[in-house]
Structure formats: C-alpha cells, structure tokens
Amino acid sequence: MLLLIQYTLIFASVLVLVALGGCFSEHSGVVNIGLEGIMVIGALGGALMMKYVPAGLAAPVVILLVILSSVLIGMLFSLLLGVAAIRFKADQTLVGTALNLLGPAAAVVLVRAINTAESVDNVSSTVAYGTAKKAFIVNIGRFEFNWFMVIALLLLAVSYIVLYKTRFGLRLCACGEHPQAADSVGINVYKMRYAGVLISGALGGLGGLVYITAGVSEWKFENGVAGFGFLALAVMIFGQWRPVNIGLAALLFGLFRALSNVYTGFDALVALKLPSTIYNMLPYIISLIVLVFVSGKSRAPKAEGIPYDKGQR
C-alpha cells in the first residue's frame, strides 16, 4: 500500500508538472504537442548533470544544479517550437510532432556518442546516475520520500497564483483567448506567447527529469518517456486548463499508472488473474474514457493553435 502511494505521488508529480507546462503554453495560445520530446530532452539534461556532477557536493547544491540543467535544456528545446510557431507561423501540431521525434532521436544519438567515446564496445543508450540521485530521496520509515513531490506541489500553487492573481498571468490568458483584443490594449502578443512556450519547456523538462528518476537509477533513452507527455495533455484537458483541477486529475492518472508497477502487491488484484499488459494499458484506456466525458464542453483557450497575425481581424 505504501508503495502504491509512493508511486502514485511520484507519477502524479510528473503529470502535474508537464500538464502545467502544457497549460501555460495553451493559455498563451500555442498548442504544445511536443511535450513528450521536451520531457526526453529535459531528462537528458538532468541525467547528464547527475552523471558528471562531482561526488563531494552537498545535496542541496546537487539538487539545484540538476534541476537547473533540466529546466534550461527544456526551455532551449521548446524554443524550437516557439520560433517556428510564433515567428514563422508554422502548423503547431506538425512542429510539435517533429519535436516529439527529434527529442528521443537526439537523446539516443548523443548518449550513444558519449558512451562510445568512453569505451568503443559500449553501444547502449543508458545513462547511469545512481549516486547523484540519492540527493533527491529521503527515507521516512519505508516510505521513499522524494523532493520532487514537494517541488511539484509548490509549482502547482505558484502556477495558480501566477495564472489568476498576477498581471502577467491574466495577460497571458488574454493572448490565448483573443490575441487581437490583447494587442489593442498594448500587450505584446508575441512576447507573451514566447513566455508561455518557454514556461512549458521549463516545466516539461523538469517533468522529464522526475520521470526518469522515479524508481530507477539509470535510464535507457531509447525508451523515451512512454507517452507521458501525451498523458499529461489528457490530464490538462481533464483538468479543464485549471491548475487545481489539473492537480486532482494528475493524482487520478498517477494512481492508475502506479497500479501497473505494484499491482502484484495486492491479493485482490492478483486474484483477478489479468495479464500484466492490461495494467500497462490501463492509464491510456482510462484517459480515452475520461476524454470522452470532458471534451464535449471544452474550456480550451479560444485562440489556441492559431498563429497570431497582426494584420488579421
């Protein structure tokens, strides 16, 4: 049971972070389908930092460095979407998809290059980061407490405040609802959209980092993040683009994802004798069902997905 809670919380943290990223981007008017790719690249940034960070550093410094590198690399990668979608008015779905393919491919090429440079026989795409990862974990009894859970909760609160209580957040939302109106009162729509995309890059990168540190001490980048970027988008839609609802939705999805890891620990579930594949499929099936019920009365930002053109009415 404890294990289930632990996994639920850590998966929920991943989903919350990434879904909030998507939320910021979409509120600014840019659909970010590329979150999956951003997660992989952010995870790569964090993993490499964990690998190369000197062993003697104090835990808080390690945490800060690793998080910073994930966030920065995620932001940098999201700029690819930003520039294409905002400056060059590209099809956002297409560019997002390209990011999703680009992320894992670039990560595998890079990691393999690093591994091969270390020893010619090493053709794996794995980064090991066992020692540095310990900085993130505090054991409370048998419960493996992870600092990321706190960070996710904090960022959820911050997102709520930023989106609804600050001038920046309200302006951001205006750009996603009616950019022409926002522009007419002197808001720079392009800048706001860049801000939205960059925030989503930062949160997506961080989410990727949390994903690869959840449970494992090394990561094979060929596996990517197994559709978590898209699950996060489902969480965002289920949460109706509102931070608090996103938090609750993430808990629900996290629970189903965690079940596939730990269902063997429950006698009632083992007694059902379902093949383990069913549990692997569960999060995706649930999200489809959930989407059926919530997509009808969608509260999506009105202008999302439409490139902003100053000359248009």
CA–CA separation, 283 vs 187, rounded Å?
Answer: 40
Applying CB under 8 A, the span of 4-12, 97-105, 169-177, 178-186 interacting with another protein comes to 97-105
| Coil vs helix vs strand at 275 | coil
Report in angstroms how near the CB of residue 304 gets to another protein at its nearest.
11
Amino acid at residue number 304: E
| Range 214-253, binding another protein (CB under 8 A) | 222-224, 226-227, 230, 233-234, 237
Residue window 6-45: x/- pattern of binding to another protein, with contact defined by CB under 8 A: ---------------------------x------------
- Rounded to whole angstroms, how far apart are CA atoms 187 and 190? 9
Q: What is the DSSP annotation of 202-265?
A: HHHHHHHHHHHHSS-SEEEGGGTTTTHHHHHHHHHHHTTT-HHHHHHHHHHHHHHHHHHHHGGG
Distance of alpha carbon 205 from its chain centroid, rounded? Answer: 6
CB of 24 to another protein, least distance (A): 18
Least gap, CB of 270 to another protein (angstroms): 18
Binding status of residue 94 toward another protein by CB under 8 A: yes
DSSP letter for each residue of 77-110 = HHHHHHIIIIIS---HHHHHHHHHHHHHHHHHHH
Q: Site map for another protein, 280-299, x if CB under 8 A?
A: xx--xx-xx--xxx-xx-x-
Binding mask 46-85 for another protein (x = CB under 8 A): ----------------------------------x---xx
Angstrom distance (rounded) from CA 152 to CA 275: 33
The interface with another protein within residues 98-127 (CB under 8 A) comprises: 98-99, 101-102, 105-106, 108-109, 112-113, 116-117, 120, 123, 125
**How far apart are alpha carbons 230 and 287 in whole angstroms?**
10
In angstroms, the CA 78 to CA 194 distance is 9
- Position 166 contacts another protein (CB under 8 A): no
Nearer to another protein, 4 or 106 (CB): 106
Least distance in angstroms from the C-beta of 313 to another protein: 18
Q: How large is the greatest C-alpha to C-alpha distance in the chain, in angstroms?
A: 64
Element (H, E) at 135: none
Nearer to another protein, 108 or 151 (CB): 108
Give contact residues for another protein (rule: CB under 8 A): 33, 80, 84-85, 88-91, 93-95, 97-99, 101-102, 105-106, 108-109, 112-113, 116-117, 120, 123, 125, 222-224, 226-227, 230, 233-234, 237, 275, 277, 280-281, 284-285, 287-288, 291-293, 295-296, 298
